[in-house]
Amino acid sequence: QVQLVESGGGLVQAGGSLRLSCAASGGSFKSYVGGWFRQAPGKEREYVAAISWSGDSTYYADSVKGRFTISRDNAKNTVYLQMNSLKPEDTAVYYCAASRATMFKDDFGSWGQGTQVTVSS
Q: How confident is the model at residue 69 (pLDDT cuts 50, 70, 90)?
A: very high
User: pLDDT grade, residue 106 (50/70/90)?
Assistant: very high
Mean pLDDT score across all residues of the chain: 96
Residue-wise pLDDT for 12-48, tens only, equals: 999 999 999 999 998 778 899 999 999 999 999 999 9
Residue 96: partners with Cβ closer than 8 Å, 6 or more residues away: 4, 5, 6, 20, 22, 34, 35, 36, 79, 111, 112
User: Looking at residue 77, what DSSP letter applies?
Assistant: T
Which pLDDT score, from 0 to 100, does residue 1 have? 81
